[in-house]
Amino acid sequence: MSQEQQREPIAVIGTGYVGLVTAAGFAELGNEVWCVDIDAAKIDRLERGEIPIYEPGLAESIAANRHLLHFSTDLAPALEHARLLFVAVGTPPTYSGDADLSAVHAVVDAMPASDRHALVMKSTVPVGTGESIKRAFAARGKDGFRYVSCPEFLKEGSALADFRNPDRVVVGDEGDWAGDAVVDLYAPLQAPLVRTDVRSAEMVKLASNAFLATKISFINEIANVCEETGADVEEVARGMGLDDRIGQKFLRPGIGFGGSCFPKDVSALKLLAGNSGYHFQLLNAVIEVNELQKRRVIRKLQKHLGTLVGKRITLLGLAFKANTDDMREASSLVLASRLQGEGAVVAAYDPLAAEEASKLMPRVEFADSAIGALEGADAAVLVTEWPEFRELDWTVAGQQMAGRLVIDGRNHLDPDVVRGAGFDYEGVGRSGS
């Protein structure tokens, strides 16, 4: 019997970042995967082989395993072929800050009364969601439907690699067949397993992202103090990171975190604590530092240029991080708005995110290249750490620009190279800035 015949078929409900990567990853392992989404246009594109998001290696993975992947707006075939239904729908914040679980509840409502199916929750949900879903099943005579919490820890830009080589697999369940089946699915990846109760599994995801966000805000605060004292945050972070209790990851100062996970999950955990009667003071500071960090760029520009009225400022990079086209909570959105509020003209370039950014930044002038975006600029601000910016010929850039100022918001550039081309260089917490 082949590996494909041995592997259990599964369903994935929701074909966004998490859903598509999960589907592609399990198809690589030999599982037949039934992908379901209510967006008919997206399903049509997927059936034609068009991938609606950018993620390194994803298109190639889906193409290589297309014979194992089925895309549909109809839930019935997924229920027929798979007993494990991975839920990967969006849970964006509402105006109150609570997670919008309407898509999750729509999935719950669509489930039949069954004792052979289980929902496997990949979507990030508040602690207690699993319990409320089980109560909903019971109230509708669906007591036999099982529930498993299996949070995702995929990083945009390396999501497929993260699926293939996870740091850990977390499975929260009641110790029944559904949890066993999920453990078996992930067994070929040979990752450390945390099998626990549902509430603890839900908290692992929120706590992990909140801690990483805290680490980022902490090193940004250290960077700001370094600017006042003349220390170099790059050296400080290097010295700190060699302590294995601290580690080097996420000790990269910059202009703040963004994306679909960190801002949402930090706020969600803060709100969850508040709703439970506990004031999570540390997360208030994490959020405040992150917001203020983006605005420090404006003060650095004003220090060198004075008033920004009429000045042309170029943003190099728009996506919230490199290797993605995701603009959710991107620092560039805040920067562009604040610069325009100060009277500046904003130009921009991003190798992947320009199309989406143009819908969110109607008054920004977009260029097809970094050099094109720098034409006539009084200053350049590096926002996203795309590798191509590190290779930029700053001598050529200087010939295009009206000014000679570079603000490196990610400490991504070589200061000596930029200064050697005749620029004033300012990073984040770097000595000499």
Contacts of 322 (CB under 8 A, 6+ apart): 157, 384, 385, 386, 387
DSSP track, 186-216:
HGGG---EEEE-HHHHHHHHHHHHHHHHHHH
Judge whether 226 counts as a catalytic residue.
Answer: no
Amino acid in the structure at residue 118: A
82: left (phi over 0), alpha (psi -120 to 50) or beta: beta
90 CB-side CA count, 13 A: 12
What's the rounded Cα separation, in Å, for the pair 141 and 121? 20
Active-site residue (options: 35, 150, 226, 261)? 261
**Alpha-carbon torsion (352, 354, 360, 364), positive or negative:** positive
**Helices H, strands E: what count in the chain?**
19, 14
Token pair for 292: 């203020």
Rounded CA separation 174/257 (Å): 35
Count of CB atoms within 10 A of residue 144's CB?
13
- Cα-based distances in Å from 174 to 39, 84, 112, 171, 292: 33, 15, 21, 10, 43
Please give the Cα distance from 303 to 205 (Å, whole number).
41
Give yes or no for a contact between 265 and 305, defined as CB atoms under 8 angstroms apart.
no
| Sign (positive or negative) of CA dihedral 239, 240, 246, 249 | negative
Active site residues: 261
